[in-house]
A and B are shown apart, each in its own frame.
Chain A
Amino acid sequence: MKLRKLKYSDSFWAFILLLPNLLGFLIFTVFPVVASFVLSFSEWDLLSPMKFVGVSNYVNLASDETFWKVLWNTFYFTLGTVPIGIALSLLLAVALNQKIRGVKLFRAMYFLPVISSTVAVAIVWQWLYNPHFGLLNYILSLFGIEGPLWLTSTTWAMPAVIITSIWKGLGFNMLLFLAGLQGIDSQFYEAAKIDGANAVRQFFHITVPLLAPTTFFVTVMSIINSFQVFDQIHVMTQGGPARSTSVLVHYLYQNAFQYFKMGYASAIAYVLFIIIFVVTMLQFRRTKSWAIY
């Protein structure tokens, strides 16, 4: 009787089904998150014994110029990639939604950069950005523009990394928008047409509001991703020149694995966490009505 009951018990099956997931989750996510927090109050080089130092890592961060610089760079990168990336991918999605020929082909082409490894993409773009022999400055020169030095210029290195990152992420966001667009009932557009609304009005009065849940998701995901950027920077510029492309995760990596300051690196990780948390919360609050959770 009891067993029979158990067989139909939601709680029992929930436990069984959750168990493997929960184990992995606790060991490889929750524990490291907590451990990292503890580590952020210590001084440790992995080799000698750990030393607890209270909040001094955080205090040092506050007065660490390099930290403020990489923090700013991270914001710069995010502000550079997210809005433009979202606008462009929305534009492409709307264009692709026009019931035209070759949708599949276009979709595949836009998705190429998404599936490619960031390391491979970064190496290819490094070559494109070569000021003398790269394709990019050649194309610019056809329009009479003298291209910048890109990755070796303190001014242009970050824009270069941003362009590559937008290029890489465009297809993914586009696909999400496309899915959202296809979920909009065509009746809305037909009604609008009867009311005499033009395409632009339709876009702003129907597409944009009805797409809001998708936009919300894409925005949050893009921000979270761009705050964590590392691969392309590590491959393309190593954070240089003059630290102009060094971002939070790059500085974290340097501190942990080049300067061997595990505690300090953990403190940086926690600052990153807090920023992402705050941004996400702001988004949640602002868009509560659209949220699905």
Chain B
Amino acid sequence: MRKVTLGRIIAYIVLVLGALSMTIPFLWMISTSFKDLSEVFVFPPTFFGEKIVWKNYLRVSDRYPFGKFFLNSINISVVVVVFQVLTSSMAGFAFARLKFKGREALFALYLATLMVPFHVTLVPTFVMMRNFGWVDTHYSLILPSLVSAFGTFLMRQFFITIPVELEESARIDGCTPFGIFARIFLPLSKPALATLGVFTFMGTWNDYIKPLIFINSVAKMTVPLGLASMQGHYSTDWPVLMAGTVIALLPVLVVFLLAQEYFVQGITLSGIKG
């Protein structure tokens, strides 16, 4: 009995220390965002300023259309999530449960491209976007992300774990392959779909290098790109910069808090059965 308690105490200590190091940067960010510039450059640093300076938050959107950045990011992320989940689950099902010629070879190709760093495709994708006339449009951010080899892989891994009996009895009952997919597999895979959805949302929302290369106009920028260009302007105005990062982090935080259970459950189940 004592042993278990000791183990738990150690576990607590580890967890609390870890949690502190995880959250302190965020608290410091929030605290700085409410400080006056003069309170920032003091030693030793203080966690709380003399008064709460809301002005920093106004100054962020003073010079940058942060609302616009938000709308852009949301637009792009939602479209990408919907399509990527759809295409990934369809193809994942085909790879997991349908027999067709060349399946193994094609899946191996998908797997192989998982190893290809995205950056390998950067230059040709840019050239392609240029030829389509999509540079500095949101198409350049949306279209290349509608399909993902990783998502396909993830869904395939999940579908493989669904018991064969379910499928067989459905086939005997005269269900078409599509019926099996739509009526049996999809409803069973809500957690996996949610996981992929949240992953994709985060990935798209936080993407930096694609907007950096494809987007030029301020009005079309996404949140991370807007934030990074803001850094160029307010190089040492830390309160304003921190206010900007606070604003940028809020929506993902909300999505995460809302979808946390789904997300964790999804990871645990589809298990990235690795």
Contacts and interface: CB of A to CB of B under 8 A. Distances in A.
8 contacts: A18-B106, A92-B14, A108-B256, A121-B25, A123-B231, A125-B25, A138-B45, A265-B123
Given A123-B241, A234-B212, 12 more contacts: A13-B178, A14-B177, A25-B152, A28-B144, A124-B29, A127-B28, A175-B267, A176-B274, A234-B228, A269-B122, A272-B117, A273-B116
A100 B12 contact: yes
B253 A262 contact: no
B110 A217 contact: no
Contacts of B267: 175-176, 179
Contact of B248 (A112, A117, A138): A117
Interface residues on A, range: 35 or more
Pairs of residues from A and B, 6 with the lowest C-beta to C-beta distance, nearest first: A24-B147, A217-B274, A32-B121, A21-B91, A35-B124, A117-B206
A117 B103 CA distance: 37
Nearest to B176: A7
Contact of B123 (A13, A39, A125, A276): A39
B268 to A, nearest CB: 4
Interface of A: 7-11, 13-18, 20-25, 28-33, 35-36, 39, 46, 88, 91-92, 94-96, 98, 100, 104, 106-121, 123-125, 127-128, 132-135, 138, 141, 167, 170-171, 175-176, 178-180, 182-183, 199, 213-214, 216-218, 224, 227-228, 230-231, 234-235, 249, 252-253, 256-257, 262, 265-266, 269-270, 272-273, 276-277, 280, 292-293
B109 to A, nearest CB: 8
B90 interface: yes
B12 to A, nearest CB: 7
Q: Which of B119, B242, B256, B268 has the most CB of A within 10 A?
A: B119
B1 interface: no
Contact of A269 (B120, B177, B209): B120
Interface residues of B, number: 101
A120 B121 contact: no
B115 A277 contact: yes
Interface in B168-185: 176-178, 181
Given A92-B15, A117-B252, A235-B231, A269 B208 contact: no
Contact of A249 (B119, B206, B244): B119
B117 A273 contact: yes
Contacts of B44: 138, 141
Nearest to A104: B260
Binding site of B, secondary structure by majority: helix, strand, loop or mixed? Answer: helix
A127 B242 contact: yes
A127 to B, nearest CB: 5
Interface in B67-120: 86-88, 90-91, 93-94, 98-101, 103, 106, 109-111, 113, 115-120
A120 B224 contact: yes
A135 B120 CA distance: 38
Contact of A120 (B14, B18, B94, B245): B245
Q: Which of B147, B260, B267 has the most CB of A within 10 A?
A: B147
B51 interface: no
A36 B242 contact: no
B147 A98 contact: no
B244 to A, nearest CB: 8
A231 B208 contact: yes
Given A100-B8, A112-B23, A228 B118 contact: yes
Contacts of A120: 224, 227, 245, 248-249
B14 A111 contact: no
B15 A124 contact: no
B242 A124 contact: yes
Contacts of A123: 227-228, 231, 241-242, 244-245
Contacts of B116: 29, 33, 273, 276
B127 interface: yes
Q: Which of B29, B110, B122 has the most CB of A within 10 A?
A: B122
A5 to B, nearest CB: 11
A292 B273 contact: yes
Contact of B120 (A20, A32, A111, A280): A32
Q: Which of B22, B106, B253 has the most CB of A within 10 A?
A: B22
B152 to A, nearest CB: 6
Contact of A270 (B43, B90, B98, B120): B120
B123 A18 contact: no
Contact of A262 (B24, B32, B40, B123): B123
Contacts of B257: 108
B22 A110 contact: yes
A8 B22 contact: no
A111 B136 CA distance: 33
A88 B21 CA distance: 12
A231 to B, nearest CB: 5
A115 B125 contact: no
A134 B242 CA distance: 13
Interface in B195-235: 202, 205-206, 208-209, 212-213, 223-225, 227-228, 231
